[in-house]
Amino acid sequence: MLKLTGMNILLVDDTPDNLYVMESVLEEQGYNIFQAASGPEALFMLTQRDFDLVLLDVQMPEMDGFEVAQLMKGNSKTKDVAIIFITALSKEIRHIQKGYDVGAENYLFKPIEPDELRKKVEVSLKYRRFKKIGEQR
């Protein structure tokens, strides 16, 4: 069985309640959870530790999630980190497409449904783990 516990996830959202909800759901799965309240804080944390996945809010002051994703994908240390965007914005295809264009692997819409959060994170982390196993062969 593929072990996912202990994988590092960075939650990025400027709303403390959203961070709390996501952390509560994901911690019980055995992941290592870290939080950032802004884009610049997230980018700093990404230089300090290796992350497997970033759950990234789209709408934040200072620097939005699209900007953070573009900077991540342009950096050799963070370019391969998976990104799942979190948004309360429209579900219009043009908005979603913009996220995929800057490197998103998936989307979650607010309010966050715990089962959907668990499953999308699990799928993303399994893909990462299988990819690493394949690269080691």
**13 in any annotated domain:** yes
**1 in any annotated domain:** no
pLDDT along the chain (137 residues), means of 10: 84 97 95 98 97 97 96 96 91 88 95 96 90 71
**120 in any annotated domain:** yes
Q: What is the pLDDT of residue 131?
A: 75
**3 in any annotated domain:** no
For residues 65 and 102, the answer to whether their CB atoms sit within 8 Å is: no
Q: What are phi and psi of 70, to 5 degrees?
A: -60, -45
Q: How much of the chain is in helix, strand and coil states, percent to nearest 5?
A: 45, 20, 35
Q: What is the pLDDT of residue 127?
A: 87
Domain that holds residue 60: 8-136
Number of domains present in the structure of the chain: 1
